[in-house]
Amino acid sequence: MTVDYTELAKTVAALVEGETDAVALMATLSCEVHHADDRFNWTGFYRVTAPEMLKIGPYQGGHGCLQIPFSRGVCGAAARTGEVQLVPDVEAFPGHIACSSSTRSEIVLPVRDGAGHLIGVFDIDSDLPDAFTQADADALQALLDRTFAAV
């Protein structure tokens, strides 16, 4: 099963209509995205909870790391730079944090509120190498931007 981003966007929009609580939005999005594609092994959010610090938020899958500083790993790089991190081989990423030994590739996207402030990152891991494409990055970023615009 491969995600149909058009249908996913419609489903998410219907589920979160009128919702402005960031945690509720994160929980709903984690669930919907996780179950939309067989490539997605771990799907969740890390929230900005202190300067230069991410803390685990709503997710689907096995346990995640509890805290990630902006200075470490793929999630930290996305938070630090404000740019999507598309990683085809996590073993080749300097400073990768192995929350799960089965992860082979990863995509992490910045999450901003309606004012453009970074409130977290959205992390998707796959047990498959090179599982994510630029098309995934573009569609997921658009979904995040629409979903969190009212926060």
- pLDDT tens digits, one per residue of 7-19: 999 999 999 999 9
pLDDT of amino acid 56: 97
Q: Which residues contact 62 (CB under 8 A, 6 or more apart)?
A: 42, 100
Q: What is the mean pLDDT of residues 81-97?
A: 90
Inter-axis angle of helices 5-16 and 22-34, nearest 10: 150
Q: In what order do the strands lie in the sheet with 67-69?
A: 67-69, 53-60, 42-50, 118-126, 105-112, 85-87
The 10 Å Cβ neighbour count of residue 32 is: 20
What Å distances lie between residue 37 and 1, 71, 92, CA to CA? 5, 30, 24
Name the domain count of the chain. Answer: 1
pTM for this structure? 0.96
The boundaries of the domain holding residue 55 are: 5-147
Question: How much is the average pLDDT of 57-66?
Answer: 94
* CATH code for the domain of 76: 3.30.450.40
Residue 90 CA to residue 103 CA, distance in Å, equals 7
The conformation of residue 90, written as its DSSP 8-state character, comes to G
The angle, 0 to 180 degrees and rounded to 10, between the axes of the packed helices 5-16 and 134-147 is 20
